[in-house]
Amino acid sequence: MAGNSFGHLFRVTTWGESHGPEIGCVVDGVPPRIPLDEADIQHWMDRRRPGQSRFTTQRGEPDRVRIVSGRFEGRTTGAPLAMIVENVDRRPKDYDDIARTYRPGHADFTYDAKYGVRDWRGGGRSSARETAMRVAAGAVARKVLGDGVAIRGAVVQIGPHAVERDGWDWNEVENNPFRCPDKAMAERWGAFLDGVRKRGSSAGAVIEVRASGAPVGLGSPVYGKLDADLAAAMMSINAVKGVEVGEGFALAAEPGETAADEMAMGEDGPRFLSNRAGGVLGGISTGQDVIVRFVVKPTSSILHERRTVDRDGNETAIRVKGRHDPCVGIRAAPVGEAMMACVLADHLLRHRAQCG
């Protein structure tokens, strides 16, 4: 019920603002006796960390995570795991000019309208800074899932430029600053985003996240469907405006004859001959790859002047300076992976509870 928690049995609660002293999370329900080190978390934090290329924000945050409870002698204890990250590069003064003016595309107006008060320092609670703790929680979720489950994310479209499926190479994802699985497209994106940056503009993106090795049977019909929870998980990420599973929206135009995945017998039992469903049928995992895509809108903070209003009801215009990602979608890939991990870990525990 609480708005700042996610999941049921593997339950993540995050707190903290973009320019507050610290951000943190509590992960409750973690199974005991799982070996866990700060380094296990840090590995994933570093993949999301800002400032790793000229295509992401230059805010200098080391994102050092501290585990302050729930671990004893190197293993989880079953008690809530609390993690804290210090906000090092705080510059609240940078935001003085937006203290009273609503930035288009941001949550400034809606937070003010809802709460009548707003921490305007870098967006406060509505900032994507919060997603750092999702990645921390996701790192724990991966531990719960174990080595048999691999969760990987890739950026598959930036602006109007989508990757070719034929050129897909997972190894490329860590080789370019875009998490692009298509080497040729990565180069094209570089040129495209340099142009975007120089124009003071921004670009949207589509991210694909795949989980391999997830067991069959995860998901709880009819409202706790695996894909329903994945949809909520991805849509809750900042700037996300759409989510699809498997072939997604393309299935509208697909004829019935080819839309459903046929089955045959494999060496280990029933297997599917295709995966248009994205690994989920009736809300339950099929044992195939679980495949989700989501769209991230262009970063709203751009150098172009846009019309807006202020708190006092005056019409005005704004041009948002500061340190922003020209394509926030790039850093959303590790966040999408983390949310996938959290959803799967939660459903793993839920499945174990009901079905043993």
Pick out residues in 170-189 that bind its own copies (CB under 8 A). none
Q: At what angle do helices 226-235 and 329-355 cross, to 10 degrees?
A: 150
Closest to its own copies by CB, 135 or 284: 284
Q: In the complex, what is the shortest distance from the CB of residue 234 to its own copies, in angstroms, rounded to a whole number?
A: 8
Applying CB under 8 A, among 48, 142, 210, 350 the residue interacting with its own copies is 350
Q: Which of residues 217-256 bind its own copies (CB under 8 A)?
A: 217, 219-225, 227-236, 238, 241-249, 251-256
Q: In the complex, what is the shortest distance from the CB of residue 311 to its own copies, in angstroms, rounded to a whole number?
A: 10
Q: Binding to its own copies by residue 341, rule CB under 8 A? A: no
Number of Cβ within 10 Å of residue 148's Cβ equals 9
Q: Which of residues 259-278 bind its own copies (CB under 8 A)?
A: 259-265, 269-270, 273, 277-278
Size of the site for its own copies (CB under 8 A): 148
Closest to its own copies by CB, 47 or 118: 118
DSSP 292: E
Closest to its own copies by CB, 115 or 171: 115
Question: Is residue 222 reached through a cis peptide bond, with omega within 30 degrees of 0 on the bond before it?
Answer: yes
Q: Binding to its own copies by residue 216, rule CB under 8 A? A: yes
Closest to its own copies by CB, 74 or 171: 74
Return phi, psi of residue 71, to 5°.
-130, 140
Closest to its own copies by CB, 7 or 171: 7
Q: Which of residues 12-51 bind its own copies (CB under 8 A)?
A: 13-17, 20-24, 26, 28-33
Applying CB under 8 A, among 190, 204, 334, 336 the residue interacting with its own copies is 204
Closest to its own copies by CB, 165 or 171: 165
Cα 240–Cα 200–Cα 105 angle in degrees, nearest 5: 35
d(CA 306, CA 309): 10
d(CA 337, CA 346): 14
Q: Which of residues 85-124 bind its own copies (CB under 8 A)?
A: 102, 104-107, 109-111, 113-119, 124
User: Binding string, 286-325, against its own copies, x = CB under 8 A?
Assistant: xx-------xxxxxx-x-x-xxxx---xxx----------
Q: Taking a C-beta distance cutoff of 8 angstroms, is the pair 104, 110 a contact? A: no
d(CA 339, CA 329): 15
Applying CB under 8 A, among 3, 39, 165, 174 the residue interacting with its own copies is 3
Tell the residue number behind the tokens 């340099």, with chain if given. Answer: 194
> Which span (39-47, 55-63, 71-79, 182-190) binds its own copies, by CB under 8 A?
71-79
How far, in whole angstroms, is CA 343 from its chain's centroid? 12
Closest to its own copies by CB, 194 or 254: 254
DSSP string computed for 114-158: HHS----GGGGGGSGGGHHHHHHHHHHHHHHH-TT-EEEEEEEEE
d(CA 265, CA 202): 48
Q: Binding to its own copies by residue 143, rule CB under 8 A? A: no
**Rounded (to 5) percent helix, strand, coil in the chain:** 35, 25, 40
Closest to its own copies by CB, 45 or 243: 243
